[in-house]
Structure 1
Amino acid sequence: MSTNAYIKYITQQIVQYFNLSKRERKEKRLHRKEDKEPTVSHWFGIVPFALSMFIRKIKKRKQMS
């Protein structure tokens, strides 16, 4: 991609962003946040989830005793 094409693309993206209303920008931002997976699972996979389930199970057993 040439420099001119890249600058043109960036300019178009900025103009599109500023043409949206403030409410639309907020909604778009919220949708992006909702679609993201949690950082812990992104970086470490399913291991943290498995550990949290295991810990909950142990705590539940202790409460029942």
Structure 2
Amino acid sequence: MSSNDYVKYVTQQVVKYMDTPKEQRQQQKEFKKETRTPFWSRWFGVLPISVMLWVKNRRARR
């Protein structure tokens, strides 16, 4: 990708962002937050979550 193509792409994205209404941008931002996977699974995978659930389950049994 040449630098000219990159500048064109960035310019298109900025114009697209500025053309969308503020309310719509806020709704999109909230939707992304709601559908995002939890921090532990994003950064460390499934194993820490399974260990955390196992520990919580053991504590609940006591």
> Normalised by the shorter chain, which TM-score bucket?
0.7 to 0.9
In structure 2, the residue corresponding to 1:37 is in which secondary structure?
Answer: coil
2:44 aligned residue: 44
For structure 2, which runs of at least 5 residues remain unmatched after alignment? none
User: What value does the CA root-mean-square deviation take over the aligned residues?
Assistant: 1.3
* C-alpha distance in 2 between matches for 1:3 and 1:52: 46
Compute the TM-score of the two structures, normalised by the length of structure 1: 0.79
* Equivalent residue pairs, number: 62
- Describe the superposition over 1:9-34 as per-residue Cα deviations: whole angstroms up to 9, x where unpaired: 11010001011111001011112222
Rg larger in structure: 1
Q: Runs of 4 or more off by more than 3 Å in structure 1?
A: none
For structure 1, which runs of at least 5 residues remain unmatched after alignment? none
